[in-house]
Amino acid sequence: MQKLYDEMREKAGEAFPGRKFIGGEGNLKPRLVLVGEAPGGEEEKQGRPFVGKAGKNLSEFLEILGLQRESIYITNVVKLRPVKISPKTGRASNRPPNKAEVEFFTPYLYRELEILRPEYAVTLGNFALRAVKKDKKAVMGELHGRSLDQSGFTLFPLYHPASIIYNRALKDTYIKDIEILKEILQEKGY
């Protein structure tokens, strides 16, 4: 994995100069890989995925599932922070990843998954679902909360925790989906 990340960091430095590279982390022989969208501000500061607010969401998620952070692998589709600068205040804020970022990093995500060989890839949000499913038109509303056969592993799509904050109904769906995943994982002895 180190070799892959060294290559990714170098190539990302050429394609996106001046942007900080934030790789995945965790168990290198995981049964489950969690794939997010992209790092945010706190991740960029600390150089680690899913810390700060997203890390808190992740801890809740793992607690429901009864999993330890160290037992899984945690990564993102895009491995640098998609950022926009306000012309008025000069302040940086997050934006969705753009096409160039997604297209640059997606082939590396496939190589990451080949190295990790997980049983389950749990994706958070549309970007991760579409990248892992290799289907740019995949629709979350139709696919969330169930096991989908990929070659080599099972994909389990979830809504992105950030997308449910202001939507009570989606939040209920997200929790229900995690409960479904919990049952599946318990049956498999996780």
| Contact between 27 and 73 (Cβ < 8 Å) | yes
39 is an interface residue for ligand URA by CB under 6 A: yes
76 is an interface residue for ligand URA by CB under 6 A: yes
The C-alpha atoms of residue 51 and residue 69 are separated, in whole angstroms, by 12
Q: Which residues contact 117 (CB under 8 A, 6 or more apart)?
A: 152, 153
| Amino acid, single-letter form, for residue 37 | E
Q: How far is the CB of 188 from ligand URA (least distance, A)?
A: 25
Question: How many residues belong to the site for ligand URA (CB under 6 A)?
Answer: 11
157 is an interface residue for ligand URA by CB under 6 A: no
Tokens representing 93 are 């804020």
Q: Of the candidates 26, 30, 49, 82, which one interacts with ligand URA according to CB under 6 A?
A: 49
| Contact between 65 and 109 (Cβ < 8 Å) | no
Q: How far is the CB of 117 from ligand URA (least distance, A)?
A: 22
Q: Given the rule CB under 6 A, which residues bind ligand URA?
A: 36-40, 43, 49-50, 54, 76, 124
